[in-house]
Each structure stands twice: as structure tokens, then as C-alpha cells.
Structure 1
């Protein structure tokens, strides 16, 4: 009896990622990237963001399409609810980055994923952003990420995949470490 195993396919081209890592080691300057978005105020608290190009691999790059994202505040804040709030986009970015990492790490470790769902929640006291209490932070006081992962792997292997994803996540780093931000009017 011959037993064949199907190749692991989580939809991540690990060879390309490892090839990029090797190219970055040989030519470090091509690893310098600049991510961009432009945000235009629409009305009230509604804004529209566009993402279409970035700099990387020592040249200007363009996405295959321009992405448009709306942000607003909910009706409960006397707004029009034209899109997620900016803080919800932070959660989307964090969850998306960590989840992409889970898929990439699982692929590299030859672990077949069947389903991955991250549920994120963040606590915030609005006294801060409303200026009602100067002692209250404007941002999140904490963020929680809960994963439900079905995979051909042990619980320990799944925990290791999530830990490695967290270790390599750009957005996790941005959220958990101070980042210099310069704001100017031109």
C-alpha cells in the first residue's frame, strides 16, 4: 500500500519570501521601504484614504489597483457611520498582519491550515480623546487577540506558529513599541 501526502498549501509562496530575504542580505539597500497613503476629508468625521504606490526594492512600486478606504465615526457619536473608525482600522491592521504571519509560518513549517480566525478587542476610555480627563490616555489601554486555529498540528505547534507570527509582525511592533511620528502642515 502506497500512502501519498498532499503538499501543504496555505497560499503563501515561502520560496519567494526566502528569496527576498536572501536578496536583502546581498543588497541591503533594496530592503528600505516607504509605505504611503493619502487621506482626504469628506465631511464631518468622514475621510477617504487612497493607497496605490509605495517605494521598495530600490524603486517606485504600484499596487495592481488603487485601494480606497473610508473611515468615519458611528451614529452614536453624531457622525454618519460611513466606514470603520480609525481605531478599528488599527485592529484590522494588527489582526491582518498577525494572521498573514500565521499563514506564512505554517507554510514554512509545512503545517496545513484549515481555518484561522482572529478576534480582536481593544479597551478605550473616551474621557481622554474628548478632553474630559487629562489623566486618561487617548488611545487603547489594552488590546486582546484571540485565535481559533484548525490545523494539522499539535496545540504546541499552533502556539509556536502564533508566537513566531507575533515576533515578525510589523504592525504588532508598531502597536507595541514607540514610533516617531512627525506631523507638518505644508
Structure 2
């Protein structure tokens, strides 16, 4: 039997996964992990290796995935990689796009192209502890999609909003997920 591939998504496998999670919610519980090591100055290297999901450990993901994280010179770095808040935008862009593509496929909406631009506003006075009234982090993030699809403008706009509201990264940002810190001996 031929696979039902739509927008590059295996819709049959997507529906099977949804049904499996409905029957056994533990299948949908995942833990993703990143290890970060300071290199020098403002340079860090993050390594993504394994994760837990679908009730089992997945120890290796096509080898080691490494990401250099740095700051631009104006923020005391050497531009050897995107800075952390740029990586947040990268993660958000990928997650919202993936959500949009998967939900379009599930709805039978053919996508011809999807591109997005993200922009966020940060006031460094919060990070630098200069003004306690200035929040640390983004004050606002704007996503602008350019979507060519075999759908009406209303359907495309509803799909983009739905994707934002069902993106785990957008949900993490919008719902102020708690972050805990502990220190262990090096």
C-alpha cells in the first residue's frame, strides 16, 4: 500500500501517532536534552545527542549535533555563532513552521511554499540589571509568514494562527514555562 504523503508529511503515520497518543497518553511524553559547555569569552557550544520519547530512550540522533553560541562584537563577543536569543527565534521559526506544515497536511491543504521572518524586541537594561522595571528577555516577537497554498486567504490565516497556538516552542514562550536551576560539583 502506498504511503499517503502530503506536503512531505506521511499523513497516515501522523494519524496513527495521534490515535496512539489518544489511547496511551504516555506515548506523547518527551524529554529533550542539551548539554552546553563554555568555550571562551561569550562562546558556548551546545550539544544535542539523545532524548526520551514514545516510552523509550533514543540515545543517538545521527551522531552529535553541535551548535556554537556567541555574541556579536557590540555585545562583547566575536560572532562565532548566533547569540542565544537568535537561537530562540530559530527554534520558534522551525517549530511554528513544522506545526503549520503538519496541520496543513492533516487538513488536506497543499502548500507550495512557506517562508517566515521573525523579529523580536529586547531592552538590554533588564539583562544588565540597570532598570528593575525593564523585563529581561523579549518584550514582543513578531512572525510574518509568506505562504503560497491551495487555500483561501482566511484558511491560510487561520492555519498560521493555529500553528502558533499549537507550536510547543511558541507555547513555552507564551505560557511562561517555569525554569529551575540547580548547581552540581564540576
- Normalising by structure 1, we get a TM-score of 0.91
**Please, which moves more after superposition, 89-98 or 60-69?**
60-69
For residues 119 and 134 of structure 1, what CA distance do their matches in structure 2 show? Answer: 30
Counterparts of 1:48 and 1:126 in 2: how far apart (Å)? 23
Higher mean alpha-carbon deviation, 155-164 vs 35-44, is at 155-164
In the alignment, which of 171, 178, 181 is matched to residue 179 of structure 2? Answer: 181
Aligned to 1:115: 113
Q: Distance between the aligned counterparts of 1:155 and 1:170, measured in 2?
A: 25
Following TM superposition, where does structure 1 have runs of at least 4 consecutive aligned residues deviating by more than 6 angstroms?
A: none
What is the rounded CA distance, in whole Å, between the counterparts of 2:135 and 2:154 in structure 1?
A: 36
Q: How far is 1:27 from its partner?
A: 2.0
User: C-alpha distance in 2, partners of 1:99/1:34?
Assistant: 21
Between the aligned partners of 2:7 and 2:109, the Cα distance in structure 1 is 8
Query: 1-side partners of 2:18 and 2:76: how far apart?
Result: 48
Which one of the candidate residues 122, 147, 150 is aligned to 2:148? 150
Deviations 1:78-123 (A, max 9, x none): 2111110100111111111111111111111222211111110001
CA distance in structure 1 between the aligned counterparts of 2:82 and 2:56, rounded to whole angstroms: 32
Matches of 2:6 and 2:23, distance apart in 1? 29
User: Within the alignment, does 1:82 sit opposite 2:80 as a pair?
Assistant: yes
What is the deviation of 1:15? 1.8
2:5, 2:55 → 1: CA distance? 33
Give yes or no for the alignment of 1:42 onto 2:44.
Answer: no
Structure 2 gaps of 5+ residues are none
RMSD across aligned C-alpha pairs, in angstroms?
Answer: 1.4
**One of 132, 138, 143 as aligned partner of 1:134:** 132
Q: Distance in 1 between matches of 2:160 and 2:173?
A: 17
Per-residue CA deviations over 1:8-56 (Å, capped at 9, x if unaligned) read 7311122212211211122222222111000000001110001010001
Relative to the length of structure 2, the TM-score reads 0.91
Q: State the number of aligned residues.
A: 180
Deviations 1:143-185 (A, max 9, x none): 1111111111110111121122122110110010121211011
Distance, in Å, in 2 between the alignment partners of 1:146 and 1:111 is 19
Structure 1, unmatched stretches of 5+, are 1-6
User: Which residue of 2 is the match for residue 94 of structure 1?
Assistant: 92
The aligned residue for residue 52 of structure 2 is 55
